[in-house]
Amino acid sequence: MLVEMALAAIRTSALTKDYRAGRGLFDLDLQVSSQEAFGYLGPNGSGKTTTIRLLMGMIRPTRGSAYVFGLDCIRDSAQVKRRVGYLPGDVPQFGSLHGGEIVAYLGGMRGGVDQRHVRAIAERFDLDLNRPFREYSSGNKQKLAILLAFMHQPDLLILDEPTSGLDPLNQQEFYNLLRERQKAGATIFLSSHVLSEVEHVCDRVGILRSGRLVHVHAVDMAETEPSLEEVFLSFFAEPRPKALPP
Amino acid sequence: MSSLLFGLRLSRWGILGFSLAALISTFIQAVGFYQIAGHTPAEHAAFGASMITLSSQFVALFPTPLRPDTVEGYVQFRGFNPLAIIFAVWALASATGFARGDEERGIVESELATGTTRPALVAARAGAFAIGVLVASAAAGAGFVFGVESGGESVPARGLIEACALLAAVGLSAYAISLLVAQLASARAATALAGAFLLALFLVNSLSRVMSSLSTWRWLSPFRYYELSQPLPPGGYFDVRGLLVLLAIAIVATAAAAAAFMLRDLGAPLVRVPSPRHRPGFGASSVPFWNVPVARGLYERKLGLLAWSIAMAVLAWVFVALTRTIVQVLLSIPTFVPYLSVFVHQKLYPAVLGYTWFDVAQLMFAALAITYVARWSSEDTDGRLEMLLSTPQSRAAIVLERMAVLIAASLLVAAVSGVVLFNASHAAGIDLDARRLVEACLLLVPFVLVFAGAGSLLAAWNPRAAVGLLGAFAFASYLDNELAPIYKLPAWVQSLSAFKLVGTPLLNGVDGRSLALMLLLALAGLGSSILVMQRRDVGA
């Protein structure tokens, strides 16, 4: 059991965050192995961001536990983050700081960031770090968030809808970066609304509905098995009104 | 109509806060008059004469009071006139908040997308502010009524309505002017530019009372038209034309702001300043401060720190320059001579400087602490705290570093203002005890920490409410120090004030017990804020 915990990059047990009125995350038992790319799918409000914020120790569980590389996400939060690259769902506001200052600020707090690696990522995404954050478009803000998540070459990437706001070319560049990081030994935990994206990038996909993990789908399955889209729709294809009221 | 209601909804806390402040302010001044002005007509007359002599020192800020020997004249001078300045500051914050703040947040874009025209939107927001400022002015009037009734006197209804109308009109004209200026500048510079413009208009009028060369320009200032009337005191006067001019300024400036808004791109200023050629870069900043705890926080706030240091240095210099005149005037007031005789065995000028400067310095340092707490709160709500916590820093480390940055910043500002105070007073022939001055300046740091500790706890507990609650705490603390002696409240009530704990260090040295209490309060705030921060959900 202990060995299994140490091998798993992420492991949760009955992890619950109850916001009342049926909202939140309930009894999540999940294990993501090292070097695995795990996708996290679900409609809005299904608990994806809550799971991610629990793993990052930003919010405390109502009950249950979460471990990253065998470390408790709350008790050992600082040690966990040494090995994690995090991309939040909403890019924070850095006001008038320049892109390069934000990278230096957070890099200074983290320590051990290779400046050559920073430059390489910024050049790949054509992200001008001499501009104030205030002047960035939403796409450039997202590129900066990607840079901040990848700059210290983490062992685990926790990414909340990472391609939101990126154009198709930059999305491809992001997928390339993700694959390179995975080849270098990193684990990926990625939430998304886009079926094709998780199918393209991930080894396994967890499907959330109303705060509960209802299915884990292995992407690389035999053709006789149902596709991810079919599985996803089987959980969410409830009858809806066909037209808006006049 | 929905834009107007939305504007009211967005500004509800401002309306509530300024209405309460106006109500409390006029009520306290009215009640305070009955406490300090004496009971007989002779005592009232002596008090009024003292107020007129004292007010001559502040003629560069406020006009000379009319009949301060009456509650109406006293409240007009101490209550309504300062409220005109406070309402102008509110107008500035509200107008620039709409013109640029809401625009940056995308609220304006969303409203325009509903089909609302730009002039209609400007009119709706100006209308919402007009309603708000009318409510706050009425609250000022109500505070006066309650205060006067506590003294068993009757209220001059017509004068009161005129005073409230003037207050609302000056607020409205300040709003319209700020709104117009904010259209011209970039979002980052709008508040500063509009604030500087309003300040210039205020100073043109107020300084024209002591500098005759400015009197030809004072017609430009809305504050001039406010001061044409003093409707509240017996024998007061009300200039209808002044009120109409204020309303005309409000209407014309609002219309001009709407026209400017139509001419510019959303998010862009009407007047574009050419920027230097931009060179793209792909590297992180090479400034070494970013790698050093505390230094990175100071470096990030470098412009703010520079502004605080310069402002405090200038204030220190101004107070030294005013000290001699203030002392001469105080000596000319017979009722103050016995009071001043307390200082006979001390040096009178350093004593007065110690009282006046450190009173203002405490207020400014409390404001410094509040601005830092505002920053901590906004870091929480705009997602920056979440990013900081995604690095291998514990929550306790983040709280401690924030506090250390504030300590370093207040030390720097205290040192700069202390050095200027020492040199300026030396040049003016006022000899300050260097050791006591250093102690007094250093004492401002634990004073800041009392507010910072409370603010840190509030920001950890409820970041959205932290600034308002800390501002109320600072206001209550200040009032406690100012009013508890007047109302003869028990000593322990007076000791609750952080302002009281500082004491008069330049005159009497540092009181060890008060210092220990301040440090204890700061530590209690810091410790509890760490505990609360560790247990709370960030960004929830």
- B290 and chain A: CB distance < 8 Å anywhere? yes
Whether residues B331 and B429 share a domain: the answer is: yes
Beta strands in chain A (DSSP E): 8-18, 24-33, 37-41, 63-68, 71-72, 84-87, 156-160, 187-192, 204-209, 212-218
Residue scoring higher pLDDT (A41 or B504): A41
Whether residues B103 and B170 share a domain: the answer is: yes
* Domain assignment of residue B405, yes or no: yes
Whether residues B330 and B420 share a domain: the answer is: yes
Q: Which domain holds residue B68?
A: 2-263
Domain residue spans of chain A: 38-61+79-236
* Domain assignment of residue B285, yes or no: no
Whether residues B451 and B305 share a domain: the answer is: yes
Banded model confidence at residue A1, pLDDT cuts 50, 70, 90: very low
β-strands A84-87, A71-72: how paired? unpaired
Nearest-CA distance B373 → chain A (Å): 17
Q: Which string of b and e fits B334-347 if b means at least 16 CB within 10 Å? A: eeeeeeeeebeeeb
Measured distance CA(B269)–CA(B184) in Å, rounded: 5
Give which of B292, B375, B390 to mutate to test A binding, by max A Cβ within 10 Å.
Answer: B390
Measured distance CA(B290)–CA(B297) in Å, rounded: 8
Measured distance CA(B278)–CA(A80) in Å, rounded: 39
Angle between helices B463-483 and B434-461 (to 10 degrees): 140
pLDDT (tens digit, 9 = 90+) per residue, A12-29? 999 999 998 889 999 999
Chain B 442-461, residues with CB within 8 Å of chain A CB atoms:
none
Residue B340 confidence (pLDDT): 61
Alpha helix ranges (H) inside A61-203: 77-82, 99-110, 115-124, 138-150, 168-183, 195-201
Nearest to B320 by CA among B415, B424, B427: B424
Q: Which two tokens stand for residue A75?
A: 């008790």
pTM over 0.80? The answer is: yes
Q: Which two tokens stand for residue A134?
A: 């205030």
Q: Which two tokens stand for residue B161?
A: 């309505």
Whether residues B192 and B310 share a domain: the answer is: no
β-strands A204-209, A212-218: how paired? antiparallel
Measured distance CA(B443)–CA(B223) in Å, rounded: 38
Q: What is the DSSP letter of B342?
A: G
Whether residues B248 and B304 share a domain: the answer is: no
Whether residues B308 and B222 share a domain: the answer is: no
* Domain assignment of residue B157, yes or no: yes
Nearest CB to B284 within list A77, A91, A118: A118
Positions of chain B with pLDDT under 50: none
* Domain assignment of residue B14, yes or no: yes
Residue of B nearest to A94 (CA): B384
pLDDT tops 50 at residue A51: yes
Whether residues B352 and B481 share a domain: the answer is: yes
β-strands A156-160, A24-33: how paired? unpaired
- At residue A30, the 3 state secondary structure works out as strand
* Domain assignment of residue B279, yes or no: no
pLDDT tops 80 at residue A3: no
Whether residues B249 and B306 share a domain: the answer is: no
The DSSP line for B327-379 is HHHHHT-GGGHHHHGGGTTS-HHHHHHHHHHHHHHHHHHHHHHHHHHHHHHHH
Whether residues B116 and B66 share a domain: the answer is: yes
ipTM of the complex: 0.91
Residue B197 confidence (pLDDT): 92
* A38-61+79-236 CATH fold: Rossmann fold (3.40.50)
pLDDT tops 60 at residue A188: yes
Q: Which two tokens stand for residue A206?
A: 């967890």
| Tokens 């600082």, residue located | A78
- The one-letter amino acid code at A137 reads S
Measured distance CA(B431)–CA(B425) in Å, rounded: 7
Whether residues B100 and B21 share a domain: the answer is: yes
* Domain assignment of residue B202, yes or no: yes
* Domain assignment of residue B281, yes or no: no
Whether residues B386 and B248 share a domain: the answer is: no
- At residue A125, the 3 state secondary structure works out as coil
Give me the sign of the Cα torsion angle B117, B118, B119, B123.
Answer: positive
pLDDT tops 60 at residue A87: yes
Number of folded domains that form chain B: 2
Nearest CB to A90 within list B188, B300, B383: B383
**Contact: B392, A57; criterion CB under 8 Å:** no
pLDDT (tens digit, 9 = 90+) per residue, B260-298? 999 998 888 888 877 777 888 999 999 999 999 999 999
